Amino acid sequence: MFDDPSVADEEVAYRRVPRAPNHRTFDLTAKRCRPSTACFSRSRHEVSVHLRGLMPPSRLPPATYPNTPQDGIAAFRAEVPRRKGGGIVIVDDPDEADPVLRSAHAEVRPGEDSKRRWAEIRELIISESWWAKPVGAPCASTQCTLCASLSQGPGV
Ligand SMILES: [Zn+2]
């Protein structure tokens, strides 16, 4: 199964964005950084997310990933991967120690196992995503209006 109809189109998926610079890219039009393809790349054609509707209010952004407070959170609606033939499935994450994240875990999956299809899904997610929480360290661009207010500490 690659799509779960019990996940509404309006449901919001959160994807953790590590502070490492290669997980963000500068968007010249928007004059701010956005998540890069590295943020949605995996060897297998799927990406782990956490669903807003399955989380208690106390764990909504910015408190979703309390163990990595510097990480950012990209958000997108469940209908976005569906527009490119993909879907979202709620699945258990046995490797997750945090009970909230474990029960809110889902995967974005392509409808067909094709590199090209997956690239299309990934690109659309990136262009349709917004920052539920910006990364706590500036990106590589000095022109970024989102990160301009962050102190220029040492990068990772
Ligand atoms: Zn930035």
> Looking at the domain assignment, is residue 148 inside a domain?
no
pLDDT in tens, 32-86: 999 999 888 765 678 999 999 999 999 999 999 999 999 999 999 999 999 999 9
> Looking at the domain assignment, is residue 7 inside a domain?
no
> Looking at the domain assignment, is residue 127 inside a domain?
yes
CA distance 136 to 132: 12
pTM reported for the whole predicted model: 0.91
Q: How far is the CA of 34 from the centre of ligand 1 (A)?
A: 7
Q: How far is the CA of 93 from the centre of ligand 1 (A)?
A: 30
* Rounded-to-10 torsion of CA 28, 30, 34, 40: -80
Q: What is the domain range of residue 27?
A: 12-133
CA distance 118 to 20: 23
Domain total of the chain:
1
> Looking at the domain assignment, is residue 152 inside a domain?
no
Q: What are phi and psi of 114, to 5 degrees?
A: -130, 135
* Contact criterion met (CB below 8 Å) for 101 and 109: no
What percentage of the chain reaches a pLDDT higher than 90? 77
Q: How far is the CA of 40 from the centre of ligand 1 (A)?
A: 18
> Looking at the domain assignment, is residue 149 inside a domain?
no
> Looking at the domain assignment, is residue 51 inside a domain?
yes
> Looking at the domain assignment, is residue 2 inside a domain?
no
Average pLDDT over residues 18-22: 89
Q: Which residue has the tokens 């993909």?
A: 86
Buried b (16+ CB within 10 A) or exposed e, 38-53: ebbeeeebbbbbbbbe
> Looking at the domain assignment, is residue 32 inside a domain?
yes
Q: What are phi and psi of 102, to 5 degrees?
A: -65, -45
